[in-house]
Chains A and B, each alone.
Chain A
Amino acid sequence: MRRPTEEAPWLRWVLCLAAVGVAVLFLVLPLAAVFAEAFRRGWEPAVRALADPDALAAVRLTLLVAAVAVPVNLVGGVAAAWAIAKFDFPGRRLLMVLIELPFSVSPVISGLVYVLVFGAQGWLGPWLEERGVQVIFALPGIVLATIFVTFPFVARTLIPLMQDQGRTEEEAAATLGADGWRMFRHVTLPNIRWALLSGVLLCNARAMGEFGAVSVVSGHVRGETNTMPLHVEILYNEYQFVAAFAVAGLLALLALVTLGAKAVLERAG
């Protein structure tokens, strides 16, 4: 006999099938379409598209941008989480709201704000130009826009966890005479490592995949200021569909690895 708080078996089956159906239609099919289009003419054209010098330059730029943006947000995120989770100070709630702010801003606006500051008619644009420094349509602009859109990831994964953990362990370490860095390295860091890694992974996935914000500040110079997502767009607009989907497939692979790693980390933490 079934318990009164359970649905009839047929209904459970219908609901499960419906959920899986939605997931297949909504999540699996788009992903499958990327790979199907990439390998439409077999492996060879897809591999050739990835080995193209412009594609390789895009991969290098994407890695470089992520290699700067992620550590910046890692340091900022850990500092913010330390202050917010372990201390009480005036402006704490405001700080939490401000850190989340970049997530509620359109990617296009995230790029736009840097153009308004550093662009040719921006606040600092003319001053920088006289000194030969180019931010917009160059690497620094791409890095800044990427830092903006990935800003909250690390802080928001750490804050709830560190709040739950409280401050007793750190206080014990301090009482036993550990200085700040030792306490952080031997007490705090081991406690937060899985969440920290998970936050870094999400931050990195978004940094490598960001399109809108980077598109606004990049200038789209092939082989120079094109990240991988921008390279995908250019290829697609030139009707090089196999090549576009091949590079897109590489990015989709990054997303899959990130999801897998995140699932593993959630079970570890």
Chain B
Amino acid sequence: MRRRAALPGLGLALGVTWLWLGLIVLVPLSALVLRPWELGLAGVWASVTEPRVVAALGLSFGAALGAALVDLPLGLLIAWVVVRYRFPGRRVLDAAIDLPFALPTAVAGLALTALYAPNGWLGAPLAAMGVTVAFTPLGVAVALAFVGLPFVVRMVEPVLRDLGPEAEEAAAVLGATRWQAWRRVVLPALGPALVSGVALAFARAVGEYGSVIFIAGNRPMESEIAPLLIVARLEQYDYAGAAALGLAMLLLSFVFLVVFGLMQRRLRRGVV
């Protein structure tokens, strides 16, 4: 192990890395942690428990969770088909999955609004059925499901690919039907990856801004997301209030991610 020092450049690489990380990420983020307290503890609490803030946080986290749970079956379906089947257009489908990653969020927001507006391609038929998507909380969830979908697919795909046919063959030999093998062998093996996919989709959706604000309608107490309130506070030069809300969002997301992490650990233990 003495030879591990043989490669040069650790000092330089670490110096560059910490400088880059410190200046761009750590110092600015420390402002988010430190500045809310200018309001005092009671002030911070009051600023994040205003009814309008609570409604916005509820919408951001609720719609993000709902969207991630919608992405779960859809992402699983796409990942399964792309990995297991050969059909014309499979490669195109596989490449298209990343579209929500690559498409600028403002473009996605405009596109979804045009699509789901009462006179849009999807909005018109939905309106005929009595469903309004654009400018309602449902529209927020639709936009968040769009941005989250690739996370589920991309987490499940590699696990599904590595999952050889042996276990399923064994299940079939032991007399399991295809559905039983899928339900008892495949699904449990995918469980941890599905949870990470949902967690990533959720984490992305909670803070999402560009793809949401066009379709949301942004009515206070009803279809206003938390990041929009941060922008509103900044426009009023309420820096501490904006920072308090930002910090609250980060802490809440962290709590959710810890819960997802615990779920994942339980599922993984179940498999092994």
**Interface on chain A toward B: helix, strand, loop, or mixed SS?**
helix
Per-position 1/0 for B238-255, Cβ under 8 A of A = 010011001001100100
Give the docked Cα–Cα distance between A105 and B231 (Å): 15
Q: Render B74-106 as a binary contact track against A, CB cut-off 8 A, 1 for contact.
A: 100110111001010101011111111111111
What A residues does B103 contact at CB under 8 A?
A: 30-31, 209, 251-252, 255
**Does chain B have a CB within 8 A of A93?**
no
10 A-B residue pairs with CB within 8 Å: A5-B178, A15-B81, A30-B111, A31-B99, A83-B13, A101-B29, A144-B24, A229-B210, A248-B110, A251-B107
A-B pairs with beta carbons under 8 A, tally: 280
Task: Please state if A109 and B146 are interface contacts (CB–CB under 8 Å).
Answer: no
Q: Does A68 belong to the interface (CB within 8 Å)?
A: no
- Are B178's CB and A4's CB within 8 A? yes
Give Cα A171 to B134, complex, Å: 59
Contact partner of A109 (CB less than 8 A), chosen from B20, B173, B207, B214, is B207
B159: Cβ under 8 A from any A Cβ: no
A108-B207, A120-B237 are known contacts; what are 19 more A-B pairs with Cβ within 8 Å? A15-B77, A15-B81, A27-B96, A30-B115, A76-B20, A79-B12, A89-B14, A95-B17, A112-B230, A147-B24, A148-B24, A170-B7, A215-B209, A229-B107, A229-B210, A236-B214, A248-B104, A255-B99, A258-B102
A251 touches B7 (CB 8 A): no
- How many Å from the CB of B234 to the closest CB on chain A? 6
Interface centre among A20, A99, A113 (most CB of B within 10 A): A113
Cβ contacts A199-222/B at 8 Å (1 or 0 each): 000100100111110011000000
B32 touches A20 (CB 8 A): no
**A104:B253 contact, CB within 8 angstroms:** yes
Q: What 7 A-B pairs have minimum CB-CB distances, sorted nearest first?
A: A106-B207, A209-B104, A4-B172, A76-B20, A212-B209, A211-B210, A113-B28
Q: Are A23 and B206 in contact (CB under 8 A)?
A: no
Do B31 and A117 have beta carbons less than 8 Å apart? Answer: yes
B250: min CB distance to chain A, Å? 7
A6 to B87 CA separation, bound complex (whole angstroms): 15
Within 8 A of B (CB), among A64-80: 72, 75-76, 79-80
Please, which residues of chain A bring their CB within 8 A of the CB of B115?
29-30, 33
Query: Contact: A22 with B74, CB < 8 Å?
Result: yes
Q: Which one of A28, A33, A75, A151 has the highest number of Cβ atoms from chain B below 10 Å of its Cβ?
A: A33
| Dominant secondary structure at the B interface | helix
On whether the beta carbons of B28 and A106 are closer than 8 Å, the reply is: no
Q: How far is the CA of A208 from the CA of B228 in the complex (A)?
A: 22
Per-residue contact bits, chain A 28-72, to B (CB 8 Å; 1 contact, 0 not):
111101101100000000000000000000000000000000001
Q: How far is the CA of A144 from the CA of B99 in the complex (A)?
A: 25
Contact A107 B239 (CB under 8 A): no
Contacts of B107 in A (CB 8 A): 34, 209, 229, 232, 248, 251-252, 255
CA separation between A233 and B210, bound complex, in Å? Answer: 9
Bound: A236/B117 CA distance, A: 14
How far, in angstroms, from A108 to B111 measured CA to CA in the complex? 21
Q: Return chain B residues, CB-CB under 8 Å to A230.
A: 106
A262 contacts which chain B residues (CB < 8 A)? 95, 98, 102
